[in-house]
Structure 1
Amino acid sequence: MNMITFFIVGLLVHVVFFISIFDIYFTSPLVHGMSPQHVPLPSPAQRLVLFVADGLRADSMFKPDNATIRTPYLRSIIEEGGSWGVSHTRVPTESRPGHVALIAGFYEDVSAVAKGWKENPVEFDSVFNESRYTWCWGSPDILPMFAKGASGDHVYTHTYPAAMEDFASKDASKLDTWVFDQVKDLLRSAKENQTLMSQLHKDQIVFFLHLLGIDTNGHAHRPMSKFFPSPTREYQENIGLVDSGVSEIVSMLEEFFGNDGRTAYVFTADHGMTNWGSHGASHPSETLTPLVAWGAGVQRAQRITAFQNYYDDDYSRDWGLETYRRIDVNQADIAPLMSSLIGVPIPLNSVGVLPLEYLNNSQHFKAESMYANAIQILEQFKASSSFAFFDPFELLRPLTDSKMDKFVSHARSLIRIGHFDEAIHQCEALIDQAMEGLSYYHTYDRFFLGCSVVLGFTGWASYVVLVILKTHASLRKPPASRDVMTGRHLGRVFVCVGLLVFLFLFLQTSSFTYYIYCLLPVPVWYSVLKEFGIIVDLIRSVPSLPLSKCFGYFVLVTFGIELLVVSFFYRAMLTLGLIALAMWPVVSGLYRKTKFRSVSWVLSCLCLAVFPLLPVVGREPNTNYVLCAGAVMLFTSFFYILSHRHSGLLARDRWLFIGQMLQMALCTYVLSSTHSSLQLKQGLPLFNQFISWTTLVSSFFVPLLSSTRLFHRLLSILMSLTCVYLLLSTGYEALFPPVLSWLMFVWIHMEQEAVDTCRISNRNELPRIDFTENIDLSRIRQLSLDDIRRSYFFVYFIIIAFFGTGNIASINSFDPASVYCFLTVFNPFIMGGLLMWKVLIPFIIVMCTFESVQVSTRLSSRSLFLIVLVISDLMALHFFFLVKDYGSWLDIGTSISHYVIVMSMTIFLMLLSVMTHFLTSKKLQFGQKVKVHFK
């Protein structure tokens, strides 16, 4: 198998393994075919008004600010007219999944990420869809998905232009003012439009006000100030504006409907926000949101004593609400509450449980509502269990068909004879068991698919090892006749195995992707066992191997892989690893050959070891670090030009480097100028934006203008990438690329010293090595045990590049302010792409260094990369075993994200190796044909 074929096959195999995790853990929880459940009693409210203050934290609303109440109107509701509590959200704490939980009653599956939280991966039911009419006002990122998911044409959405969502806006609260004004316009126009007036006075009506100003101000100005633990002025004033706006809208609605007492109000938030202005993870400031309900059908405020307060904790102790009954709910419970208030069926896919404590109605109404809630969830359970080929749940769990019928009939009879409290208790027990069944069927295929993926993983890793031994370790291939006989017998056996697997999947009526996951191990293991002679040859050669050195490397790599795995949970472990790496010249004896390089290696390792100890979240912008990083790069570039002015540095390269130095100085100024302008609320200067985008675009081709000499090209690549990185930096992370590059340059020199100088050119030749030179195949050496260390160093540096200044597994590790040099108007795809490019820049630096090590040590790029592939796959397999399907949602999500990250890294390194080879070996010469040389 040639290199291109192997690359394509390996890429496809890893893509399959990567996608499999979505079928195992990220499948949609939604099922279809259920019937809506109606409550046979009149509803307490004719209409519902839902206020969602996007990004509002519970403590920001409830906690007084120096004895000043930020939300006097809502506070009066809590103390006099309604019920309140904390709504507990789930990760990811983003706007789309938060609104889906509020309005549809279920927790969004992660597949919605691929749609940018805007479109519906699958259609779902919602309170809006079940209503007679719904009017919505707010963000174009949220409202359209509920209109699209609704049947008929009864959900009317009114959105402002996306350009209004500008983080650099002087007054983001205008987003909320716009919504309030639109509601007022609707009420005024209804007085002149009889059709509209008639619609507004019907029952089962919903008004939805999406208020995004708090979220936008939180991102732009941060909820908490830098020096005092209190809300920033912009955030605080926006909360007050929302409170006064809610008060005014309630007053107008009551007047419009003649104070008929038939309007229910719910005020809540989709998610909170951290002190540093981000959200997406599981910090209490993100997952705890306020909930206030009042009006028709809602229980009025209840005074309690301190002994009756179940929520006496440090978090809520300063709120001053300990004598008012607090009723906490899960975010999905709000959808059944709203449905019950206006008498519409609970959304079909809702997993929320009706919080009866919020209802002010008869026990009969509560029992009927809870019964409808139980049947609605039970319908989902029945739909989920209908596909199971083998169903041990009915054997092991107390929810068979007969027991379900008994549950339902018993609850119905209890309601009929007036035993409402007992009926409610019966329905709650039924909901608990149905939810347990839903969870079981949602994970029905998990074990089976997991075994298939593990089998495929181990087979692929074994095959790669055999390829390394066969093509790069001088092991002789067994006789061809034996290969033919072995392949013939194995082929029959594996064809039979494949047919059995296919038959099982067919009887299971499995989806198309299941066939791929389960049948892939068959050809993979066939390829492994077909090379059985290689294994025999390896065993025979064991006596001639340096066993002590082999055992040492085995222990080193095993320990090293475990260290990398632990570092995903504790970044400080990377510091420990770098300290250990700093001792390499001493342990290997290299310090005797080159003391200066060894000292430089130790110092660069220790400097880089500082970064994993620094915080990744909660940073305040500090452009001084960025200025310092720019100065360091300018000094380094100037020193390089000065030291190479008489050693082969062409005039064209010299002027190119000078131009890149001027560009770096300009980028440093643009970063400082942009942040100063935004702090003064003067917006993003157009000149700064132009320079930023120009720098980003030019960074892709400017290095191609430089010489392909090893250090000339590396310096040009580094300067272009660092310019972009500086524009995307807000603090100390700007220093990371210079320090990482220092270590990478030293690594290149150290690796050449570590190679046998009798077989490789001496170190004085290193500056003259050209990336485009055609390496004589006779001079490419076979793999040695030291190449395992080189490959492990590369993987370790890749992880350092990944976790050095941030953690992509945590959404809120990255500050939106990082992209303000490029744009300030909210655009998730462009902002996400820029942040992703910021993450990739350290990767590219390490990849280019690895390419240099391969060239300087006269190794085939394929051989080293195969070892890297094995190490990465072993890490991925380790994380696959660490995936959890129990515990908190955060624990489950974190364990899955680690597997996805390592798998993505493996696929990504395959693609990035091609990109970096192109970036280092291609030279752009105007007026001439471009030639690219590949090893």
Structure 2
Amino acid sequence: MNLPAFFFVGLLVHFVFFASIFDIYFTSPLVHGMTPQHTQLQPPAKRLVLFVADGLRADVFYELDEHGNSRAPYLRDIIENRGSWGVSHTRVPTESRPGHVALIAGFYEDVSAVAKGWKENPVEFDSVFNESKYTWSWGSPDILPMFAKGASGDHIYTHCYSAEKEDFATQDASKLDTWVFDGVKDFFRSAQNNQTLLSKLNENKIVLFLHLLGLDTNGHAHRPSSREYKLNVKRVDEGVKEIVSILEDFYGNDGHTAFVFTSDHGMTDWGSHGAGHPSETLTPLVAWGAGVGYSQRTASQYFEDDFLKEWKLENWKRLDVNQADVAPLMASLIGIPFPLNSVGTLPLEYLNSSDLYKSECILTNAVQILEQFKVKMAQKKETTLSFLFTPFKLLSESRQLDILKRVRFFISQQKYDEAITLSKTLISLALEGLSYYHTYDRIFLGISVVLGFMGWTSYVILIIIKMHTNLTRAIQNTDQVSTTFFSYGFATAGVLIIIFLIIQTSPWMYYVYCLLPLPVWYAVVTEFKTIQDLLTFLSACPLGHSIGFFFLFAVGIEILVFSFFYRSTLTIALIAFAGWPLMHRWIQGMNGLKMITLSWTLLCSLLAIFPMMPVVGRESDITPVTGAGLLTLLLSFFSLVPFWNQKSKHIQGKYLTVLLLQMLNLTLSIYIVHSTHASLGQKMGLPLINQIVSWTTLAFSLVVPLLSPTRVFQRLLSIFVSLMSTYLLLSTGYEALFPLVLSCLMFVWINIEQETLQYSGNSFKQKLSSIDFSCSTDITQFRQLSVDDIRRSFFFVFFIVTAFFGTGNIASINSFDPASVYCFLTVFSPFVMGALMMWKILIPFVLVMCAFETVQITVQLSSKSLFLIVLVISDIMALHFFFLVKDYGSWLDIGTSISHYVIVMSMTIFLMLLSGLAQVLTTKKIKFWRRTKHHAT
């Protein structure tokens, strides 16, 4: 297989492996066709008001300020005297869309829905709003429309401000909340003179939804500990008080209005969310009004987070819920059908109603979840061969009927406690059954993917041995009989698998997962001659050498895997790397330590500091950004000194001009960062000229290096300076120093690898300064692979992992912190902001990849052979993480385990793509047309 074909097939295979995780773990939990369930008894409330303070942390809301006063005195008074309170626990990802879906629709939307659409619904779903008689909502254009789209009938009315108002650089984002409160006030004033609207507002089963985005915006812009954020909490409290007063006046204090105040997610100390830190997953919940019980005084209560004493609320009973539980609570308060796909359990302790109403509501809750279970089971039964179908044994049809009959009997006998307990048991079993059928195909798909993984990795190893080593015989005759046998055998297996999947009416991606291992393993078994040669070689090697090699290789892989859980692992490994040249054989022939060895040791030690630092984003500090920029300028200047007195065509003239312009642009980037943060600090917004310069720098960062000469040193310097200009614009603190140290270490690595080549006795050794990228082709003819090349490939993967986790971790990468992109835009735009932050993450990748391209040239080895080893290492890591994926435990553990796999698979795919980008950056050159000189005759 030629290189382009192999690259294409490899990319395709890895995309399949990447997609598999979404079909196995991120599939939509929704089913359709259920019958709506609601309680026939009279509900305690006629109307419901839902306040969602976007991005409000539980601790900031509940705790007292430095003077011992509450930041939300009105809601605090409700907690202590006339309402119920607790903590609503969210799930990962802690983003706005999944949070609101859980609150209003009662189910936890799969993670992929965030990527499919921020405002549009990837799948239509039922909600409390849809089941209401009428719903009026005010707030963000990112949230409100998704609950109106797909609703049955025309009964959900939205009032949204323009997206441009969601600006992180505004003087005070609490104006977003003020807009909502003013809109509600104007709405009720206008209703007095509008008989149609007045009539609708006096109907039963209506909902008012106030989405308050100011706290989220202020938290991103100024951090949750800021004065702006805390004052916004007070503004929200005042607004809630005003709205309650208006409603009481409007309805004449009829006592039929229920109120719920909560948040969709919290926020980290540095103003981000998206991961599973407690500051993101703990949100406040306060309910009061019609149908809601008063806070109960208690002598003692215990919670693992131990916040009660800090909040001074240890004497008021705290009622914690899961976020999806809020939807059935709201449905019960106004007597509407439970959302069809809700998986929440009604928190009965919040209800202040008769025991009969409570037991009827919890039974309705159980039947509604049981309906989903039945539909899910029927769907799975229809798509599975009868002799292969294994039902959920804990909830058979007879068991369902028995529980329902017993609950009805207990209610008729007024044994409400027994009825409630049994209903909760039914809910628990139904939810367990839903999970069982939702993950029914998981083992089957997992085995298919693992077989594909193992086959692909084995094939790549065989290709390496066959094409790039001396382990195999020069001429291998193909056994036609064996090849024909394998062909018919795998073809038959493929036909049987297709028939099996057709009978089961499986989704089309199942065909891909199940059939992919066949061609991969066919390619493996047809290389049986290579396998024989490998086994012969291993049997001839000393057993101790073989065990030692595989042990070191396994330890290296485990170090890489362990670093995903503990960043400090990278620090330990880098300290060990610092002494590597001292132990290498070629250092023994030197008279003392060379400067290059000292540089390697120093730079490894400096780089080892970064994984020990707090993750980026806790506090903005422009001083390190300035320092990184000035150091880069200094290094760039000194790197040009040797060329000033040379008459080199490669550095003089326009190429020198290009490098000087890059240094000027770097200086400009330093100024833009200072100017932008100063302007935002004064709440004057993002200056237009700064925005234009930032986008221009980004646009030309990949083009300008192509104007420089293709000699190794000049081109690498140009790439580094150009990307560093962009990285500074995306930096908020010490991380700006990271690519500087990393790039210096990469340059030293290139030099050291050339020294190891010289020691190996290779007759071809070209000076680094004279190597030209444009003249380097695939130079397999120079030599075959050696054990040292496995070490080089491992170093590359290690530096890639270091580039990824050097300044962050899984939580910081999953979290949304827009402070990094303020030089480019401040108006909320999730996809543009996400793309910019992704490019920031990829810049160190590009620097390492360019260094690896240079290493391949300096050691005179085929780029294909080294990259194949890298592919094997990364695929073994990916398979490792595939086995570590969890579907149990805390949602932080589940989300993190899935993130590990997704990141490694993304890294593998990105490495393939970045390899092409690095080759373009290092080898391509833009040549401007120039006029031909005419000489006099």
Deviations 1:498-529 (A, max 9, x none): 22222332333221111110111111111100
Q: Distance in 1 between matches of 2:704 and 2:345?
A: 59
Q: Distance in 2 between matches of 1:249 and 1:758?
A: 80
Alignment of 1:443-842 (within 5 A): 443-476=439-472, 482-542=478-538, 551-592=547-588, 595-617=594-616, 619-647=618-646, 648=648, 649-756=651-758, 760=762, 765-775=767-777, 779-808=781-810, 810-811=812-813, 815-842=817-844
Query: Per the alignment, do residues 265 and 722 of structure 1 end up closer, same or farther by CA in structure 2, a change over 3 Å counting?
Result: same
Instruction: Verify: 1:267 aligned to 2:261, yes or no.
Output: yes
Give the match's secondary structure for 1:772: helix
Partner of 2:330: 338
Alignment of 1:169-318 (within 5 A): 169-224=170-225, 232-302=226-296, 304-307=297-300, 309-311=301-303, 314-318=306-310
> Is the 1:14–1:907 contact (alpha carbons within 8 Å) kept by the matching residues of 2?
yes
Shift of 1:680: 1.4
TM-score calculated relative to the size of structure 2: 0.95
> Is the 1:56–1:290 contact (alpha carbons within 8 Å) kept by the matching residues of 2?
yes
Q: Distance in 1 between matches of 2:620 and 2:802?
A: 23
> Is the 1:760–1:858 contact (alpha carbons within 8 Å) kept by the matching residues of 2?
no
Q: Distance in 2 between matches of 1:249 and 1:557?
A: 65
> Is the 1:105–1:334 contact (alpha carbons within 8 Å) kept by the matching residues of 2?
yes
Shift of 1:871: 0.6
Give the match's secondary structure for 1:755: helix
The farther-off stretch of 580-589 and 17-26 is 580-589
The farther-off stretch of 715-724 and 233-242 is 233-242
Shift of 1:928: 7.5
Deviations 1:65-102 (A, max 9, x none): 12222112111211222111111111111111111111
Q: Distance in 2 between matches of 1:277 and 1:861?
A: 43
The farther-off stretch of 11-20 and 537-546 is 537-546
Query: Per the alignment, do residues 545 and 814 of structure 1 end up closer, same or farther by CA in structure 2, a change over 3 Å counting?
Result: farther
Partner of 1:369: 361
> Is the 2:392–2:436 contact (alpha carbons within 8 Å) kept by the matching residues of 1?
no
Query: Per the alignment, do residues 758 and 81 of structure 1 end up closer, same or farther by CA in structure 2, a change over 3 Å counting?
Result: closer
Which residue of the other structure, out of 411, 416, 423, is the alignment partner of 1:415?
A: 411
> Is the 2:698–2:726 contact (alpha carbons within 8 Å) kept by the matching residues of 1?
yes
> Is the 1:97–1:117 contact (alpha carbons within 8 Å) kept by the matching residues of 2?
no
The farther-off stretch of 51-60 and 580-589 is 580-589
Shift of 1:407: 1.3
Partner of 1:38: 38
Give the match's secondary structure for 2:135: strand
TM-score calculated relative to the size of structure 1: 0.95
Shift of 1:556: 2.3
Query: Per the alignment, do residues 546 and 118 of structure 1 end up closer, same or farther by CA in structure 2, a change over 3 Å counting?
Result: farther
Q: Percent identity?
A: 63
Would you say how many aligned residue pairs link Structure 1 and Structure 2? 920
Deviations 1:656-708 (A, max 9, x none): 11111111111111111211111111211222112111111111210000000
> Is the 1:311–1:326 contact (alpha carbons within 8 Å) kept by the matching residues of 2?
no
Deviations 1:532-551 (A, max 9, x none): 01111223344766876655
Query: Per the alignment, do residues 312 and 612 of structure 1 end up closer, same or farther by CA in structure 2, a change over 3 Å counting?
Result: closer
The farther-off stretch of 188-197 and 561-570 is 188-197
Instruction: Verify: 1:327 aligned to 2:319, yes or no.
Output: yes
Partner of 1:228: none
Partner of 2:345: 353
> Is the 1:86–1:328 contact (alpha carbons within 8 Å) kept by the matching residues of 2?
yes
Q: Distance in 1 between matches of 2:508 and 2:777?
A: 46
Deviations 1:139-167 (A, max 9, x none): 11111110113122111111101111111
Shift of 1:552: 4.2
Shift of 1:127: 0.1
> Is the 1:449–1:518 contact (alpha carbons within 8 Å) kept by the matching residues of 2?
yes
Query: Per the alignment, do residues 800 and 391 of structure 1 end up closer, same or farther by CA in structure 2, a change over 3 Å counting?
Result: farther
The farther-off stretch of 194-203 and 392-401 is 392-401
Shift of 1:812: 5.6
Equivalent residue letter for 2:286: V
Q: Distance in 1 between matches of 2:475 and 2:772?
A: 41
Give the match's secondary structure for 1:862: helix
> Is the 1:476–1:537 contact (alpha carbons within 8 Å) kept by the matching residues of 2?
yes
Partner of 2:934: none
Q: Distance in 2 between matches of 1:524 and 1:863?
A: 19
Partner of 2:52: 52
Query: Per the alignment, do residues 776 and 268 of structure 1 end up closer, same or farther by CA in structure 2, a change over 3 Å counting?
Result: closer
Alignment of 1:69-148 (within 5 A): 69-148=70-149
Give the match's secondary structure for 1:274: coil
Deviations 1:764-792 (A, max 9, x none): 62111100105485853211111111111
In structure 2, list runs of 5 or more residues that go unmatched.
932-937
Shift of 1:651: 2.5
The farther-off stretch of 40-49 and 801-810 is 801-810
> Is the 1:619–1:731 contact (alpha carbons within 8 Å) kept by the matching residues of 2?
no
Partner of 1:397: 393
Shift of 1:571: 0.4
Shift of 1:416: 2.8
Q: Please give the root-mean-square deviation of Cα atoms over the aligned residues, in Å.
A: 2.0
Shift of 1:798: 0.5
Q: Distance in 2 between matches of 1:826 and 1:590?
A: 55
Query: Per the alignment, do residues 744 and 813 of structure 1 end up closer, same or farther by CA in structure 2, a change over 3 Å counting?
Result: farther
Partner of 1:227: none
Query: Per the alignment, do residues 478 and 926 of structure 1 end up closer, same or farther by CA in structure 2, a change over 3 Å counting?
Result: closer
Give the match's secondary structure for 1:470: helix
Q: Distance in 1 between matches of 2:389 and 2:888?
A: 18
Q: Distance in 2 between matches of 1:220 and 1:812?
A: 18
Equivalent residue letter for 1:489: F
In structure 1, list runs of 5 or more residues that go unmatched.
225-231, 930-935
Give the match's secondary structure for 2:42: coil
Give the match's secondary structure for 1:258: coil
Q: Distance in 2 between matches of 1:894 and 1:258?
A: 51
The farther-off stretch of 255-264 and 750-759 is 750-759
> Is the 1:221–1:234 contact (alpha carbons within 8 Å) kept by the matching residues of 2?
yes
Deviations 1:253-285 (A, max 9, x none): 111112221111111111111222111222222
